[in-house]
Amino acid sequence: MDGAILAKVNSWLTGNYDENTKAEIVRLQKENPEELTESFYQNLEFGTGGLRGIMGIGTNRINKYTIGMATQGYSNYLKNSFPSQMVKVAIAHDSRNSSRFFAETAAKIFAANGIKVFLFQSLRPTPELSFTIRYLGCQGGVVCTASHNPKEYNGYKAYWNDGGQLVPPHDHNVIAEVEKISSVDEVRWTGGESHITMIGKEIDEAYISMVKNLSVYPEIIELQHNLCIVYTPIHGTGIKLVPDVLQRFGFSNVHVVDEQAGPDGNFPTVLYPNPEEKETMSLGLKKAREIDADILLGTDPDADRVGVGVKNDRGEWILLNGNQTAVLAFNYLIEARKVKGIAQPNDIVIKTIVTTDMIDDIARESNIKCYNVLTGFKWIAELIKEKEKTENYVIGGEESYGLMIGSKLRDKDAVSAVAILCEMAAYEKNRGKTLYEKLIDLYLQFGFYKEFLISITKKGMDGQKQIADMMSTFRQNPPSTINGSAVIRLLDYETRKEKNLGTGETRNIELPASNVLQFILEDGSKISARPSGTEPKIKFYFSVNDKLKTISSFHAMDDLLQKRIDGIISDMKLM
């Protein structure tokens, strides 16, 4: 074992760590030294969104001590930032194993630092935490979750006083404060329990009322209240609020997938609790087929992502991808608000740079400004804050199954998304259409945009280097053609420069620096590459499009566009 790693291990064996932790280190020394090395070879990075990693002992794992040191650093920054105020934070957690323990640990540390803590008495969705920060006037907040990651993972997401995740300068400043905590002995573990207040039902009611106010067409729900809805919380927090919200909206025919209704951090019915995955949604699809449902919805463990299933023109149940869901949701709120007469001349929508450009086209057709921001809802939240005095935010979203409707919270929200998507299905059913048919209509009007995502995982000690090398290669030696089409523009968000490869002209990109590359091809295709901010992955996003002339030609065009994507992937040697 490397000497530096061994020194870390020995510091845990001799330091103020509990006996169970020390016993586990001894066991790994004997039985699994490779795992011990992985657990200590680096410090788990407190990134711009917080912590996320595998649970276990060691500096590179999620445990009481890494959570504790992060909370102490965040406490220090909050107190320095609001020196003349009684600092308040809200804390929530999901259904993952140890999430409650981590939330209580963080609550005790904040409280020991003299910070007023509002701790949910049991698991709650992440979006409710964002709402609560604003509702209770908190300066910050934390949710213990690893979102859609496998059961071995957990995490710690930090929020600021606007209800959004940390953005500059606070993200880097908090990281600096966390990195100053060099020992668990610097953590104030206990001593302020009187500063902790339990919260629950009263916040639920305020949140549900807020979501209900997002409804555009309650009168159509009344007509279509029997819309057949299948919902699965995938063993997560959605069960706490989604059924109640749907009932409050007026839907009377909601079927919860019983096998996945109970919160369970082992996620026993799935390999991966991610509604993007067909396997994860298979029980929901089965129930939808059995009862001939109108729509299927599934939320991830912390209920910030939503997956949607619909029946296609062949009578088959299919899952929409995140871009398709976003297209339908954005279009519904733009169209329905216009028809209802409540659209405002200063309405805006926001999406991320890797989300389908079809949304830009839809917004442009209705003379609504569509802003593009970096990946992550914290950037959507930051732009809302910048624009809220002069422009009216309606909806934001990204391709990773996230939507944020209305401005009363500042993170993606699958609970309100489920409700609005069901209202949208009722709206279309009232007009004699299915959601699938509506999507095809939009393709006919705006062009058929097809997107695809590849995530390449690079685990272990050299994984980050491999990812960095891949980005460096594409950045320093960009291809001149991809799949037979010339690369006409290269956008490098790290240098914040866009280059026209034909003329050599460059222009500035008016967004914060980020490690993202985009290749724009002559045939209209777009390829984006970026390392994940939360997992040891590099992601490649592909978007191709063409004109769809008739409904009957949809499947042939779908095949053609998929072949174009396959050709791009092959030419870039990604698979």
Peptide bond into 169 cis (omega under 30): yes
Pairwise CA distance, residues 170 & 570, whole Å: 41
Residue 59 · residue 39 · CB < 8 Å: yes
Pairwise CA distance, residues 355 & 39, whole Å: 35
- In sequence order, what are the residues at sequence separation of 6 or more whose Cβ sits closer than 8 angstroms to the Cβ of residue 282? none
Catalogue the E-assigned strands of 57-152.
Answer: 88-93, 116-120, 140-144
Both tokens assigned to 237: 């927090």
Ramachandran angles phi, psi of 206, nearest 5°: -65, -40
Give the residue numbers marked as catalytic: 147
Both tokens assigned to 513: 């620096």
Pairwise CA distance, residues 534 & 283, whole Å: 28
Residue 180 · residue 81 · CB < 8 Å: no
Pairwise CA distance, residues 177 & 358, whole Å: 41
Q: How many CB atoms lie within 10 A of CB 47?
A: 14
- Give CA 214 to chain center in angstroms: 21
Pairwise CA distance, residues 194 & 514, whole Å: 42
Task: Report which DSSP code applies to 62.
Answer: B
Q: 179-183: long-range contacts (C-beta < 8 A, 24 or more apart)?
A: 179/46, 179/73, 180/73, 180/76, 181/69, 181/70, 181/72, 181/73, 183/15
Ramachandran angles phi, psi of 337, nearest 5°: -65, -35
Strand ranges of the sheet holding 196-199, from the earlier edge strand across to the other edge: 50-54, 153-160, 140-144, 88-93, 116-120, 196-199
Pairwise CA distance, residues 446 & 13, whole Å: 63
β partners of residue 195: none
Residue 395 · residue 405 · CB < 8 Å: yes
Nearest to 132 by CA among 148, 116, 119: 119
Strand 537-546, strand 448-457: pairing: antiparallel
